[in-house]
Amino acid sequence: MLPSSLISVDQEYKKYTDSVASWLASTAKRCGYPADLLTPVNSQPKADEKPKAKARKRGKRKGKVPAPAARETGEKHIIAINDFIPLAEFIFSTKKPLILVPDSFSKTIDRVIAVRSSFGTQLSEHGMETAPDSDLKHFYFVGILEKVREVLRPRMSTKTMPTSSDSPEMMTTRFSGLQVYEPSQEFLDAPNIERPEKSTEDMVTYEAELQNRFEDAIMAFAMMLDDLDKIRSRIKWIWSNYRDGFSELATAAVATNTALDLARNLMEDVLPIFKDHGGALDVCKKLFFMIAHEREGCSLDETLAWFNGATQHDFYEIADETYLNAGRLIESFAKVLSPQNIPIYKEGMLGVYDPESNRDVKTGHEKFTEDNIILTEFFPEAVALARLVPDYPVEDEFIRGIKELDQTQEVSFPLVFATQAVLDIHHILRSRAKGVVSALIQEVSAIGNMIDGHFKYHQNLESPDWPESNENMLRRFRESITWFTRDPVYVAKKKFSRKSDIGEPREKYRLLGYSPILAGLALYHFRAGMFELGIAISNAWGSITYTAHLYNAVQQERLLKDLWVDMEVVLTNLGDSTFFVGRRPRNTSEYLKRFSLQMGTSASVVTNSRPRAPNRIQRLQDVSSRAGPRWIKGAAPVSSLFMEIYLRKGGQVDWTPEHVDNIISRSQNEVESTKEDGTLILAQIDDPERLKQKRRAHQETAKKRRRNISDGGRLSPSELVKSLALSMQAEALEFTFPYMDLHRWCWGILRIVKTHCDAVLRTSFGPTYLENESQLPFVVGYIFRLADGANVRKDVTALRMAAEVIADMIAVGTGEFLVGMMEKTSGFGIDFQEEE
């Protein structure tokens, strides 16, 4: 089921239909309508039954009949379609009180009638009746609704006559060519249509009876396609941005798989309707035949001939719009899928896929052949993963669908949609698709090397905040990198081939080459693990945080000529509030106070200005506050949402209304400008006040455009995915930065600073001011105490010595080493400019 915070066209249509039923039932009940005359839930008429004449006379009964006792809050009652007219007649016949129909009801029923009529008209024109006596040709439900409107018309306001934009004629025009309900955003926003509310004293929830005739199935399918088309367009937008260098792989993959997951949830609400009509693929085929007939004037035989290779007509684009191409291919693979063996593809069996060729000039048959080759080569790899490598680190919606297919032998429509997404991505990337693998393996290998460097550096370094269990976790993560880079699918296929006496696989990483989504999710997996461990290590030693305090102090004192680019990137990405309590300190007194608060040291102790003898000075490590140190936390809030899924293989993201709103409003970035090609340029908002203003503006806009998510308004899945992609892309540098390496650089700097300043610090604070290397960050606090003259004679010598160490590091180019490394391994080109 689609999360409550999101909305689809089908859901919104159902809300309108339920609103009609709810107002009729609750209003009639308030007027004394006997509840026992409502069709019981467990004895609803079948979909092909017509209303009995007796039922039409129910509303003639005059006088009030006491309603049954109030039901408990939350009870649900299904209002049978057969009851709509009797309820309307009873409401009309009631004189005390005289019921005036609200404008919201009039507009809602007009809209439902318009939508239903447009579908029914086209179905009738194309001869899609399922039986000679089908209710379809009588527009059964439309007739019921029109009769209800006719009965209640005298009680309606004259100003609620259908507008030109809502008239059946206009709606039919909008459905021309079965371009499914183009104004669906009107359904989602509905700025001028307020749905009618049931009586406030009625605690029962009313819903309209589910209709399951073919007309209802084809209409539901068409509405579902409208939602899916918007999600599909968003996926294409994501990968076009990736192809053109405006997005990175992990962001594109997570946003895409989120879109596919939302699409699957959306479909789950609709798919049961298709069961009595052969399933979603059968309904898909019928819709395809209808559109082919309308656009091309072709007969059923001609369209069937195209399926078998006839070239007289070209229906590829229509089959693409209805997802029939992907459905046919997956269906054909499913028919030959053996439960014992992994499918084997012989190279060139169907031809050779040439990604360098121009797809735009190909015929429909040539395009279909190309799709067939891509999927036929990819399908065996996906089955091998599903069957042979259960502990693969990530799973996308296509692999999930393949696993379900393997278990049920049924092709699900979510798998069809995921298959189409795979094809679309290949159509967009073309020859760039296989370049994804080299970029992935290069970055994952670099992460492994980073961990190796950590082990070597920390051979003799221990911290009470980094227990052996954490070190073991890091070792396991390193082992998983080694396992992954050897290609576990390739290894498993080799073992299987030896047992089955079939040819060994010839190419490593073949699976990832055919699935940029899976490759991107794997990249996210290892980035997320490194991000989490890098932040944890930095917090355990305090290396980055307290070196940042030292760097800020020497900058404020104008003791540096150049920027430490690596540190500036981290300060900019994570924000000043991560490192400093309040604003950045600007003088010696603030350096010490803010350091003390960040370190968790009692500021009242260290800021006593009366000098003391060295042997009587309290050590910083002995006066910690109960609150403890303030660590780096809350970094990359949007990107971190997916750690449970793609790092720990846990559950799905819970898309609550508040959660969706946070995805948008918590992003600390804004659209700075929009290029003509649609490229969005993001700029980070560093000013807290400006950020607050941006969020307030977002909230106001949200209230006007979608009634504010937290107050019940909802987003379409496509809109959420767009916001997610932009937010993750804006966080990509923050999420990918090598914090573990920066920790080592910072720790090395602190070591050198301690060595250079040791004589001065010993003179002022005694020989035991530090007892072991794990206390090294406290050297920054002692330097600040000297510079401020807290408990000691004021002396800035140590601060100047520390500045010389940082300046020397910057001078030899080490200050931007990590930024350069990121550009080589991850492709992040960072242009860092100092503000004037």
CA-angle at 278, arms to 262 and 10, nearest 5°: 35
Task: Give CA 594 to chain center in angstroms.
Answer: 38
List phi, psi (to 5°) of 670.
-135, 160
What CA–CA distance (Å, rounded) separates 607 from 590?
10
Q: Which long-range contacts (CB under 8 A, 24 or more apart) does 687-695 make?
A: 688/577, 694/670, 695/665
Q: With bands split at pLDDT 50, 70 and 90, how would you rate the model's confidence at 205?
A: confident
What mean pLDDT is predicted for residues 189-200? 56
Q: With bands split at pLDDT 50, 70 and 90, how would you rate the model's confidence at 785?
A: very high
CA distances from 86 to 69, 91, 93, 148 (A): 21, 9, 10, 9
pLDDT for 702: 47
Ramachandran sector of residue 412 (left: φ over 0; alpha: ψ -120 to 50; beta: rest): beta
CA distances from 750 to 483, 547, 632, 743, 779 (A): 36, 7, 19, 10, 8
What CA–CA distance (Å, rounded) separates 392 from 159?
62
Smallest Cα–Cα separation from 6: which of 510, 723, 695?
Answer: 723
Comparing 139 with 483, which gets the higher pLDDT?
483
Neighbours of 75 (CB within 10 A): 11
585-601 confidence digits (pLDDT tens): 999 999 999 998 888 77
Domain boundaries, the chain: 9-211, 218-435, 436-513, 539-633+739-825, 639-732
Q: What six digits make up the tokens of 794?
A: 């004021």
What CA–CA distance (Å, rounded) separates 722 from 730?
12
Q: In 3-state terms, what secondary structure has residue 683?
A: strand
What mean pLDDT is predicted for residues 763-781? 91
Q: With bands split at pLDDT 50, 70 and 90, how would you rate the model's confidence at 240?
A: very high
What mean pLDDT is predicted for residues 133-156? 78
Kindly state the percentage of the chain with pLDDT values over 90: 51
What does the radius of gyration of the chain's CA atoms come to, in whole angstroms? 33
| DSSP H or E segment with residue 481 | helix 468-485
Q: With bands split at pLDDT 50, 70 and 90, how would you rate the model's confidence at 711?
A: very low
pTM: 0.85
Q: What six digits make up the tokens of 821?
A: 């490394």
Q: With bands split at pLDDT 50, 70 and 90, how would you rate the model's confidence at 253?
A: very high
pLDDT for 670: 47
Q: With bands split at pLDDT 50, 70 and 90, how would you rate the model's confidence at 209?
A: confident
- Omega before residue 97 within 30° of 0, cis: yes
758: buried, middle or exposed (CB in 10 Å: 19+, 13-18, 0-12)? middle
CA-angle at 284, arms to 281 and 288, nearest 5°: 140
Q: With bands split at pLDDT 50, 70 and 90, how would you rate the model's confidence at 40?
A: low
Q: What six digits make up the tokens of 584?
A: 């950045």
Neighbours of 393 (CB within 10 A): 21
DSSP state of 466: B
Fill in the amino acid letter for 517: I
Ramachandran sector of residue 127 (left: φ over 0; alpha: ψ -120 to 50; beta: rest): left
**How long, in residues, is the chain?**
836
CA distances from 154 to 26, 92, 149 (A): 20, 9, 9
| DSSP H or E segment with residue 274 | none
**In this structure, is the dihedral angle defined by the CA atoms of residues 256, 261, 267 and 271, taken in order, positive or negative?**
positive
Which residues, listed in sequence order, are joined to residue 77 by a DSSP beta bridge?
A: 206
What CA–CA distance (Å, rounded) separates 11 from 270?
9
346-362 confidence digits (pLDDT tens): 777 788 899 999 999 99
Neighbours of 318 (CB within 10 A): 25
Q: With bands split at pLDDT 50, 70 and 90, how would you rate the model's confidence at 283?
A: very high
What CA–CA distance (Å, rounded) separates 37 from 35?
5
Neighbours of 445 (CB within 10 A): 16
**In this structure, is the dihedral angle defined by the CA atoms of residues 136, 142, 148 and 154, taken in order, positive or negative?**
negative
What CA–CA distance (Å, rounded) separates 428 from 415?
20
Could you give the maximum distance between any two Cα atoms of the chain, in Å? 106
Expressed in percent and rounded to 5, the helix, strand and coil fractions of the chain are 65, 5, 35
What mean pLDDT is predicted for residues 681-698? 57
Q: What six digits make up the tokens of 572?
A: 């900019």
pLDDT for 225: 93
Fill in the amino acid letter for 336: V
Query: In this structure, are strands 205-208 and 680-684 parallel, antiparallel, or unpaired?
Result: unpaired
Q: What six digits make up the tokens of 799?
A: 């601060």
